[in-house]
Amino acid sequence: MNVVITGASRGMGKAIAMKFAKDAHTLFLCARTKETLEKTAAEIKTTFPSSTIHTFVADLSVKEEVTAFGKFCLQHGTPDIVINNAGYYLPGNCIDEAEGTLDSMLQTNLYSAYYLTRVLVPEMIAKKSGHIFNMCSIASHKAYKGGGGYSISKFALNGFSQNLRQELLPYGIKVTAVFPGAVMTDTWGDFDNSSNRIMEVSDIADMVYAATKLSKAAVVEEIVLRPQLGDL
């Protein structure tokens, strides 16, 4: 299968890539930093030599670069699985966060998924198959102090997911919105997780992978994951 993953060089994106590489799929990995992306691709290839890895460096906050990545993927065939994982978090409140904060996070957290999907989905529609995952957040469901522009962008990504699900129903294309709570990524810095207070990236990867294993008659519309002890 052809598996497209954005934000693939680290964190959840990397863990998801590792999960699919284990089954010798063909991966199309995109990230902004060339060195990190190439290091991740080399690690995956060493661990799972039967996998095929294609990399593409792009800033997915820029529409033209999103489009270029999509066209690159299509040169190698129709995607079977698309995982819109690119995104980032800036703390702040709507009433006083820095000017441009919302615009910046909308460009990466929402528009990257929107524009990439628009490039890829016509071929998927023609094939009448495929599965699209949008990496939302618990912040897509519940506002919280300090969420600001980030929460707005993730609410919007959830809205995109719900609309896409309805639009693609007739074409056999599944859409799954993923809502992780706190996950141990670089965002948490040197947080001591020895007590397993927050989730591991492998938890998210395992659930995404599992959702692709259902029959054509079933779709997991939403995946909600929280730490066992609840949100922080």
**Of 88, 89, 111, 150, which one is the catalytic site residue?**
150
Q: What is the pLDDT of residue 142?
A: 87
For residue 150, indicate whether it is catalytic.
Answer: yes
Token pair for 147: 């969420």
Q: What is the pLDDT of residue 185?
A: 85
Each residue's pLDDT expressed in tens, for the chain with a length of 232 residues? 999 999 999 999 999 999 999 999 999 999 999 999 999 999 999 999 999 999 999 999 999 999 999 999 999 999 999 999 999 988 899 999 999 999 999 999 999 999 999 999 999 999 999 999 999 999 999 888 888 999 999 999 999 999 999 999 999 999 999 999 999 887 777 888 888 889 999 999 999 999 999 999 999 999 999 999 998 8
Superfamily, domain 2-225: NAD(P)-binding Rossmann-like Domain (3.40.50.720)
Distance between CA 136 and CA 164 in Å, rounded?
14
- The pTM of the full predicted model, rounded to 2 decimals, is 0.95
Q: What is the pLDDT of residue 156?
A: 97
Q: What is the pLDDT of residue 144?
A: 84
Residue 115, C-beta contacts closer than 8 angstroms, at least 6 positions apart: 63, 66, 67, 70
With beta carbons less than 8 A apart as the criterion, state whether 159 and 106 touch.
Answer: no
Q: What is the pLDDT of residue 189?
A: 76
| Alpha helices (H) along the chain | 11-21, 34-47, 63-74, 101-106, 112-127, 148-168, 201-211
Q: What is the pLDDT of residue 4?
A: 98
Token pair for 20: 């699919």
Q: What is the pLDDT of residue 134?
A: 98
